[in-house]
Amino acid sequence: MKLTGAFLAERAEAVNGALSVEGGVVAALTQNQQSGMMDVCLVLLVQGEPENPDKTVKIAIEPLSAPVESVQPQVLTETVSDESLLVNAGGFSIVDLSFEKADLPVDGIYTMTVTGPDHSISLLFNVGTI
């Protein structure tokens, strides 16, 4: 598998083998006051490569900005295995992500680095509370 692109979306799903995105591309995550969670879909654009059957990606999230008085949050890394990576004929994969405020405790700018078998893609997003 070759990772060719990535973006964050409010909601994404496969419909008849095609990518359906609702709410558009996400640039900021806010905490849902009822659930206390921050939910987002990571959409990966991929190409199948028979010579490289590895379908594993690593997702690392770390803050770029934080107030001086705050503690830097721990870097989160998740490996998405072949079983949970939904690769469609249209060349995309959808990874549902859900964070508690404790996972991303500092409001500000974060970077999400998605590393595939061949290279990495970095996304910037803002974290804040309503």
d(CA 111, CA 63): 6
pLDDT at 14: 84
- pLDDT on residue 7: 94
Query: Can you spell out the DSSP letters for 41-61?
Result: EEEEEEE--TT-----EEEEE
* Distance between CA atoms of residues 10 and 96, nearest Å: 10
Q: What is the pTM of this model?
A: 0.81
CA-CA-CA-CA torsion sign (64, 66, 68, 69): negative
Query: Rounded distance, CA 11 to CA 93, Å?
Result: 13
pLDDT per position as a tens digit, 35-59: 878 889 999 888 777 777 777 788 8
> If you average pLDDT over every residue of the chain, what do you get?
78
The domain locations on the chain are 2-128
2-128 has which CATH code? 2.60.40.2950
User: CA–CA separation, 39 vs 41, rounded Å?
Assistant: 7
